[in-house]
Structure 1
């Protein structure tokens, strides 16, 4: 229950802060301000809720963690339920504040949407950026990672992704973040939601694959490698219970 609540609250905060910056303050803070709002929210969630649930707040991240062998399938489904519900609640609060559901920071593409990029560009952006985002997360939280810096690296990466891609899709890389605003906005946003579920999940699988296959892992420290050549270390490996 603690993990479920942490993920629900985290997704709520991400949508409320990130999409809220776009809807309520976009004309004032601009694209950079919106990008930083998403990034800062993730930094806060990583340190505030990370000790409870890991601070995924993103179904794509949970899929990547599952594929990397760091959580069970049942846990992933629990996280997904919390994340989608939290994002919907965050969008609901934002709609109540804005007094309108037509603009809740929903994602999209094509004519009339921000930079009017094509479906192919939107799909390619979401797949590639989600893969890179998940790879950074798995690397930042895996064995050998610098202690205490994961939240900062993850938040800065998300901010950079938004700086690059807001004009392309509004940036999803998170099916839950797209789900909440699209469900309440309806119409075209709801019709285009499929892309922002499918593409990030594909990207997450691609980002997790090198970790699953052991292609990306922390190097063994030089001293540890040297110790393995010591006769006592070799004997311990052969007889681990000695």
Structure 2
């Protein structure tokens, strides 16, 4: 019997009981991540830096390719996708963000959006060097993605508007700007909440997969604001579509799709820092 008891003890130590999903952080202390430096020239010599930029380029390329093709299929008349409607477009944008953030989060952080990069930069989550590099690669990826869509169906692309963001008839420029500010605030606020280590450690009893709430935020914002601006909330997406479509009216309101998202991202970063981060950390261990 003594030998069997020893075997049981050995087995209990070697094969410990698995913890339920989302509870592992309860036994870990929270450590504040130090702010990223403003300039970090040493990054330029690191392969991980360039690899992250390539990941942002490819993710934004695929994002524009899938979403703009979906828009073209829905607005085409007559179209097999006509019944998909706004919901289908919203699902395409939200679903692609979910998939691409999941794929690239471990490489670049899965920004896929200059507004997200800007908000995280303001929160000192990444250096200015990396932020600028990400935004450049995101814009290049968006241009290439929209360009491939136009290559598939050039005549239809021109007729159907190329998925370019504009303030729709019946709405003012102020309406469009406000929609972009609030929509981007929802997105970037969700990004901060879903990826905040302090919150995840404090509320570790709530299992969470970060790409999922981010994708749902994009989906819901599109449902709300497609009728107003076609939903930008991503300056790279708006720039890529506008450059490839290249019609005068695509540029008339283009400033809205940069100013609005950047203001929304800044407000989300500020709100997160002064409200969410101010909550005292209390370990549940």
Determine if the TM-score, normalized by the shorter chain, exceeds 0.5.
yes
Q: Which residue of 2 aligns with 1:212?
A: 273
Residue 84 (structure 1) shift: 0.3
Residue 195 (structure 1) shift: 1.0
Q: Which residue of 2 aligns with 1:228?
A: none
Candidates 147, 152, 165, aligned match of 1:107: 165
Provide the rounded CA distance (Å) in 1 between the counterparts of 2:207 and 2:144.
32
SS at structure 1 position matched to 2:71: helix
Q: Which residue of 2 aligns with 1:119?
A: 173
Candidates 184, 191, 196, aligned match of 2:244: 184
Q: Which residue of 1 aligns with 2:109?
A: 54
Candidates 199, 208, 233, aligned match of 1:173: 233
SS at structure 2 position matched to 1:53: coil
Q: Does 1:4 pair with 2:53?
A: yes
Flag the 1:76–1:147 CA change in 2: closer, same or farther, 3 A. Answer: farther
Residue 219 (structure 1) shift: 5.1
Deviates more, 1:65-74 or 1:189-198: 189-198
Q: Which residue of 1 aligns with 2:65?
A: 16
Q: Which residue of 1 aligns with 2:218?
A: 158
Q: TM-score, normalised by structure 1?
A: 0.85
Residue 49 (structure 1) shift: 1.2
Provide the rounded CA distance (Å) in 2 between the counterparts of 1:24 and 1:165.
19
User: RMSD between aligned alpha carbons?
Assistant: 1.6
Residue-pair matches, total: 219
Conserved? CA contact 1:106–1:185, under 8 Å:
yes
Matches within 5 A, 1:117-156: 117-143=171-197, 144-145=199-200, 149-156=209-216
Candidates 73, 79, 96, aligned match of 2:128: 73
Q: Which has the larger radius of gyration?
A: 2
SS at structure 2 position matched to 1:128: helix
Provide the rounded CA distance (Å) in 1 between the counterparts of 2:168 and 2:91.
25
Q: Which residue of 2 aligns with 1:193?
A: 254
Q: Which runs of 5+ in 1 are unaligned?
A: 225-242
Residue 25 (structure 1) shift: 3.5
Q: Which residue of 2 aligns with 1:64?
A: 119
Higher helix residue share: 1
Q: TM-score, normalised by structure 2?
A: 0.73
Q: Which runs of 5+ in 2 are unaligned?
A: 1-49, 76-81, 201-205
SS at structure 2 position matched to 1:51: coil
Residue 131 (structure 1) shift: 1.1
